[in-house]
């Protein structure tokens, strides 16, 4: 699938300098092996917990870099299902920016509440994620605001490269597995690994209910695939951006699929063994490993988000109580 000799628009800059653009609370997140989880999974798995921060997701890394240098007093607008919007709201507020997040009316209420709590003006738009993106573009054009798009802005991916650099402290892995939605996370991780650990395979995880990135990479161009479920909302994108498809094709080895049942089982494993409440998209890496879709020995993966919908969180708690 990959075309590792193909150039991308991403630049692996000075990681020390990149880290200075990212708030400390998003850096050096916990990473470790859990022996009981390893026993269940049947292999050594280093888990990096990217939710131990104010927004409960990894998004602060890339957004921190992407917003670096914007002058205070301006306005930033984005479209988001929640976690990206939280990152823009949290970091934008800290840097004196007014933040507008366009989202859909069926937005996860927990994520909406947190975006608002971080000071964002949250604009709900009727329709699909594409409608929210169009609303953000229109607002930016009419208001003269700075538009930041997940999956397009190179800094969002380049900031995520810090994750791979931190993982390297645990040694070299046979594979690194990460959920893949707009593609910035996995592109940033792969960018660093291609330079520093080229033998490590980089594998993304889509859901069977929302395989747009997998099909786009196979086709060599963005392909629209309407999600049949929004359960894993963080990676349930209807169509990736051309920039992101090109990066993933150039940097990532493979994309595998998991279904909702496997995501629920992975969330349960994570809660039981790591005492972490992951959202469905955040559990996709563990789901792929538990389902046997990663045929490698020593693996690293990430818990990328911890903002499940309230009903999903309550269902998981009930399941654990009766397990």
- Could you please report the per-residue DSSP string of 159-223? HHHHHHHHHGGG---SEEEEE-SSSHHHHHHHHHHHHH-TTSEEEEEEETTB-HHHHHHHHTS--
% pLDDT > 90, the chain: 94
Mean pLDDT of 36-49: 97
Tens of pLDDT, residues 117-133: 999 999 999 999 999 99
Give the domains, in start order, of the chain with CATH numbers: 15-56+154-321 (3.40.50.1100), 59-147 (3.40.50.1100)
Q: Give the CA distances from residue 78 to residues 132, 183, 187, 318, 322, in Å, rounded to whole numbers and listed in that order.
A: 9, 16, 20, 35, 41
Q: What is the pLDDT of residue 322?
A: 83
Q: Which pTM value belongs to this model? A: 0.96
Q: What average pLDDT does the chain have?
A: 96
Tens of pLDDT, residues 135-188: 999 999 999 999 999 999 999 999 999 999 999 999 999 999 999 999 999 999
Tens of pLDDT, residues 225-247: 999 999 999 999 999 999 999 99
Residue 45 has pLDDT above 90, yes or no: yes
Q: What is the pLDDT of residue 216?
A: 98
Tens of pLDDT, residues 279-316: 999 999 999 999 999 988 999 999 999 999 999 999 99
Q: What is the pLDDT of residue 2?
A: 55
């Amino acid at each position: 699938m990959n075309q590792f000799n193909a150039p991308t628009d991403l630049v692996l800059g000075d990681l020390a300098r990149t880290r200075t653009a990212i708030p400390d609370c998003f850096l050096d997140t916990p990473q470790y092996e859990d022996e009981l989880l390893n026993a269940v999974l049947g292999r050594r798995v280093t888990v990096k917990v990217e939710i131990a921060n104010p927004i409960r997701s990894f998004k602060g890394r890339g957004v921190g870099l992407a917003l670096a240098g914007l002058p205070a007093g301006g306005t930033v607008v984005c479209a988001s299902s929640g976690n990206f919007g939280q990152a823009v709201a949290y970091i934008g507020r800290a840097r004196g920016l007014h933040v507008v997040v366009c989202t859909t009316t069926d937005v996860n209420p927990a994520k909406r509440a947190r975006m608002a709590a971080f000071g964002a003006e949250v604009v709900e738009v009727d329709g699909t994620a594409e409608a929210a993106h169009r609303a953000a573009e229109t607002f930016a054009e009419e208001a003269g605001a700075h538009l930041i798009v997940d999956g397009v802005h190179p800094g969002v991916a380049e900031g995520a490269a810090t994750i791979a650099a931190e993982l390297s402290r645990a040694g070299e892995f046979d594979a690194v597995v990460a959920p893949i939605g707009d593609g910035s996370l996995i592109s940033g991780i792969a960018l660093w690994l291609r330079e520093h650990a080229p033998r490590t395979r980089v594998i993304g995880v889509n859901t069977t209910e929302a395989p747009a990135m997998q099909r786009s990479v196979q086709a060599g161009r963005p392909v629209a695939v309407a999600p049949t479920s929004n359960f894993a909302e963080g990676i349930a994108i209807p169509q990736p951006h051309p920039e992101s498809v090109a990066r993933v094709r150039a940097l990532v080895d493979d994309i595998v699929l998991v279904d909702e049942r496997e995501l629920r089982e992975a969330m349960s494993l994570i809660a039981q063994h790591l005492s972490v409440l992951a959202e469905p998209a955040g559990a996709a890496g563990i789901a792929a490993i538990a389902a046997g879709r990663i045929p490698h020995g020593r693996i690293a993966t990430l818990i990328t988000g911890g903002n499940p919908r309230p009903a999903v969180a309550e269902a998981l708690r009930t399941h654990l109580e009766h397990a």
